[in-house]
Amino acid sequence: MRRRLGRHQTSDRNNKKAFFPVTSLDLDQAGELYRARIHRAALVLTGDPWEADDLTQETFLVLAEQRSKFEGRSQFYTWLYGILLNLERSRRRRNEVRQRGLRVVWDQDTRGRQTAPAAEATLEVAEWKRSLWGEVARLPDGQRQALVLRFSEHLSYTEIAGVLDCPLGTVKSRIFNGLATLKNQFAANGQDASTFAVPLDGLSDAV
């Protein structure tokens, strides 16, 4: 079943620019190269290691089943990120439907514009809840996904636009508004966002 990879190369230290020739897609090498990254994105999105593992596995299952459909118009890993985000959003929708079904009629939440975080229905880890990603999970899907691709996966704006299939300006506005919403949330809770004294390296290379 396994086929040898005819051409495989990476262009930077983070394997960010790695790509596969479509004709010789190898699952072993795809998993070796991208599994950790897909899992990290899924973990940040869900906050649940098991959920992240399942999402990662499902992403590669889709790859195993539909690899012939990859047309090479985008980078291979952006294709994988697209699969992951769609799977994760579908899960959040299912969670939302389940929660709506359990919700009392007069207590219905009107926030229909965003899907329910998977972590509300599963076993999220405390580290995730304490981190900023726990707050990101409450943002609308577009902002949430853009922030994950930007600050967890360090994709460039152009790559994010390719994954989300939206214009470049939309990506910028979603990231800006997502961060601004986070800042406002901290301000509402009496916290100061400037207390996060973290070095700013790691951002400039992806812009």
Partner 1 sequence: MPFEIFDSPADDANDREDALFADDAVLSEEGDWPEELLMLGSQLSADAARLASLYPAEPRTGRDLLTIASAPDASFASPTGVTGTGWMSRVLSQAVVGHGARWVTAAAILVVATIGTFTTFQSLKIAPIPEQKSTAPMQVAVNSETAPVSPQDAMSYGEPGSFEETGFEDLSSPAQEALLDLFEDNQLSQASLSI
Of 135-174, binders to partner 1 (CB under 8 A) are 136, 140-143, 147-148, 150-152, 154, 165, 169-170, 172-174
Determine, following the binding rule CB under 8 A, whether residue 61 of this chain makes contact with partner 1.
Answer: yes
* Closer residue to partner 1 (CB): 71 or 107: 71
**Residue of the chain from 19, 20, 60, 76 that contacts partner 1 (CB under 8 A):** 60
Determine, following the binding rule CB under 8 A, whether residue 77 of this chain makes contact with partner 1.
Answer: no
CA atoms of 85 and 94, how far apart (whole Å) = 14
* Closer residue to partner 1 (CB): 9 or 180: 180
Report, in Å, the least distance between residue 166 CB and partner 1: 8
Q: Which stretch binds partner 1 (CB under 8 A): 6-14, 16-24, 122-130?
A: 122-130
Whether the CB-CB separation of 30 and 20 falls below 8 Å is answered with: yes
Which residues from 20-59 bind partner 1, rule CB under 8 A?
26-28, 30-31, 35-36, 38-40, 43-44, 49-50, 52-54, 56-58
* Closer residue to partner 1 (CB): 7 or 101: 101
**Residue of the chain from 8, 15, 21, 132 that contacts partner 1 (CB under 8 A):** 132
Determine, following the binding rule CB under 8 A, whether residue 188 of this chain makes contact with partner 1.
Answer: no
Determine, following the binding rule CB under 8 A, whether residue 204 of this chain makes contact with partner 1.
Answer: yes
Query: What string of DSSP letters covers the chain?
Result: -----S--B--STTSTT-B--GGG--HHHHHHHHHHHHHHHHHHHHS-HHHHHHHHHHHHHHHHHHGGG--SSS-HHHHHHHHHHHHHHHHHHHHHHHHHHHS-GGG----TTSPPPGGGTTT--HHHHHSHHHHHTTS-HHHHHHHIIIIIS---HHHHHHHHTS-HHHHHHHHHHHHHHHHHHHHHTT--GGG-----TTSGGG-
Report, in Å, the least distance between residue 94 CB and partner 1: 9
